[in-house]
Chain A
Amino acid sequence: MLGKSSPISKFWIGFLIVVILVGLVAFVLQVIKGHEITGMRDNVVWGIYIINFIFFVCLSYSGAFFSGILHFFKTPWKNSVSRIVEIITVLSLIVGPIFILLCIGRLDRLHYLFIYPRIQSPITWDIIAILTDLIGCFIYLYLTFIPDFAMLRDNSEGASNWRQKLYKSLAIGYKDTPTQRETLHKITRTMSAMIIVLAIVAYTVLAWIFSLTLQPGWNSTIFAPYFIVAGLYSGVGVIIIAMYLIRKYYKLDHYIRKIHFIGAGIVLLVISLLFGYFTFSEYFSRWFSHKIQDTNLLNTLFNKYFWEFILANYIGVLVPIVILFFKKFRTIKSITFAAVVAVLGLWLNRYLIVVPTLETPYLPIQDTRPEFIHYSATWVEWALSFAGIAAFVLFFILLMRLVPIIPMSGIIDYEREQKRHHKPLIQNQKK
């Protein structure tokens, strides 16, 4: 749990609230005037909202995946990063789906999805997967918080009344007895395995929303694994950025060390190699097929979106690989820089998957206006996108004030484990 607000943090919180308020104004305008004030039209029916949705949901699934791995395999440096990963997972799963609601032209018909679901539709699968995953993530995150809530309950004499009450109710009477500890470890471990599987299933379903259509650029057999790898790529990137910012601004150098950055950097390197490989395979097979729609799509990517393509698929992959491959470049700052490049590159990669495909359809609308064919996001879309990012960061800061960012219970568990392993040795020595 982090201490009192400094003037700088107050300024940042104020700034984030302003960004969210601007987003709210944009939202009200969009509700009143409709999608007319966005850049989305007859051809490009999905814009940056869906890209933000994929990006945040990506982040959540990869967070869940890594958190599950850290807990299930009891990774040594779990305590330093697991809470950051868990918070990223849940917050992105709250912020992400809001963007899909912004894409819907007739929000008043949203409930039809639940009243008249078609089991054959990937959209229905996605709704089921996201809701199930959201609930699973909440349960899992809560399980990892319980021992810390218990500690906060027992050590918050000086805290305000509402805090004491909140910690008491959230700790659900956990006293760290052997039975309670064993039960909690058992269900946390089962849920961590469940979360890994859920992340893979839910992310596959998200990829199928695109790849089960016949649209050029989407109809690909490798889309699901490609999405999973891309999701992990952005996930590790955001985790590294969060680690860096938390370490720097909350002076946690002692807990979040260079070794953690190097570990995360090597994971990022492996995933960037995989991501680069998948990206190359995807575009190479499309280029080689010589199908007219694929050729049109590639022409659009290499002409109209030339720089975006270079940034997303060359700089966004090669720069992190070069930085992370050579040992001498592996400093905390350069690893964070590689993560920033990876995250920006991946967002652009998502843009290039969604927009150019919709701009080059199989059946063009006859005699349509040019602005209906070409997409360009309006200020409303940008305002809502930045509001989403601001909400994510603001919730992160507020959550860090409520719960410890480095799980105390995890450190105690770790020390307990160490003692248990060392005890027999000492006894043997005595003998």
Chain B
Amino acid sequence: MMTPFFRYSMCVLMIGLLVSTKGNAQEIDLSKYRMRFSLNTTKQHDNFRILEASFIAANKKDRKDRIPVYDAEIAFFNVLNDEEVLIGSSKTDKEGIAKVTVPDSHSYLTDGNGNINLLARFNGSDALDEEEEELSVKNLFLDLSLTEIDSVRSVVVNAFVLDSLGAKIPVEEMDIVIAVGGMLSKMPIEDGTIEDGEFIFEMPVDIPGDANGDLTVYSIIEDHDEYGDVIQKKTANWGIFTEQSKKDTNTLWSEAAPIWMYVVLTILLVGVWTNYVYTIINLFKIKKEGKQLEMDT
């Protein structure tokens, strides 16, 4: 006889086995989010300029809840007065970022002050409104040289802009970071200020380079109101190379395992297998006695 409890439990189990929630798709309520659309530009060491638009939906109440907008078409323009010249367009990736790279040969439209006015635009979709962001930067040139001045290894940075006639105008009072290239990222080694268009920094002599002793030095202007991000780099044979003389042996990552592992494994296996052999020897003894008894009878 099945008890009522038994039946009830069976019911719960059966219902549970039948229900599957595999197909629950997540819907996002957009009214809870504020759209964040921003534009940034970086002038690289090869004088190519990267235009980067970021498109993120940020929760109005939960700062940690940020959802990147994926696959949104962003168009980048160079603007002068009412004229808009399309530079290029790109779709946002899974991080919500759309990028275009503009070659150094590209000639920008500039206003009377030498400003390049840039614009990023998202035309909107069924679910999202149109977004637009403007940015104005001047074309800054960083001239980086790694030289020895009085036998002292020096990093010399000259920063200037060009006027309409092509003459160099040194920039004043601008923060700069000097960094060296590492395996994964850049390591800052000095912060300073450019004055009269120049910054000189005495390079330390104990920084490791690559296998050939080469060291890549970066001069970086970061998030400047007038110039945006500008990066320049140069390589010199200034690094030191220390060869790792000690080879790892008997570790978890070397070819041979740690000694204790061999010892423990051997003790365990010898212990177990000795017992197996002992058992089998005793089985032969039983068999021998059985044969003897058979022969006697």
For chain B, residues 7 to 29, give those with C-beta under 8 angstroms from any C-beta of chain A. Answer: 9-10, 12-13, 16-17, 19-22, 24
Are A120 and B6 interface neighbours, CB within 8 A? no
Q: Tell yes or no: B188 within 8 A of A by CB.
A: no
Q: Give Cα A313–Cα B9 distance, bound, in whole angstroms.
A: 15
Contact B279–A132 (Cβ < 8 Å):
no
Cβ–Cβ contact B287 & A172, under 8 A: yes
Question: Mask for A242-267, Cβ within 8 A of B = 1, else 0?
Answer: 00000000000000000000000000
Find out whether the CB atom of B283 lies under 8 angstroms from the CB atom of A187. Answer: yes
CA of A197 to CA of B280 in the docked complex: distance in angstroms? 19
Asked if B293 and A175 sit within 8 Å, CB to CB, the answer is yes
- A103 interfacial by beta-carbon distance below 8 Å: no
Distance, CA A378 to CA B22, complexed state (A) = 15
Central interface residue in B2, B3, B291, by most chain A CB within 10 Å: B3
Count of chain B residues near A, Cβ 8 A = 43
The CA of A2 and the CA of B179, in the complex, are separated in Å by 83
Q: Say yes or no: B290 contacts A172, CB within 8 Å.
A: yes
Contact B269 A119 (CB under 8 A): no
B289 x A173 contact (CB < 8 A): yes
Contact A180 B19 (CB under 8 A): no
List the A side residues contacting B273 at CB < 8 Å: 132
* Dominant secondary structure at the A interface: helix
- CB contact under 8 A between A198 and B272, given known A119-B262, A120-B252: yes
Q: Is the CB of B10 within 8 A of A180?
A: no
Contact A303 B24 (CB under 8 A): yes
Measured between C-beta atoms, what is the minimum distance from B252 to chain A in Å? 5
Report if A315-B12 is in contact (Cβ < 8 Å); known contacts: A128-B269, A173-B290, A198-B272: yes
Within 8 A of A (CB), among B278-297: 278-280, 282-283, 285-291, 293-294
Asked if A311 is at the interface (CB within 8 A of a chain B CB), the reply is: yes
Per the bound structure, the CA–CA distance linking A333 and B3 in Å amounts to 10
Please give, as numbers and ranges, the residues of chain B lying within 8 Å of A135 by CB-CB distance. 276
Contacts A187-B283, A201-B268; A341 near B293 (Cβ below 8 A): no
- Which A131-187 residues have C-beta < 8 A from chain B? 132, 135-136, 139, 143, 146, 171-175, 177, 179-180, 183-184, 186-187
Query: Is there contact, CB below 8 Å, between A177 and B289?
Result: yes
Smallest CB separation, A160 vs chain B (Å):
22
Other 6 A-B pairs with CB < 8 A, given A172-B290, A173-B293, A331-B3? A132-B272, A173-B290, A180-B289, A304-B24, A311-B16, A376-B22
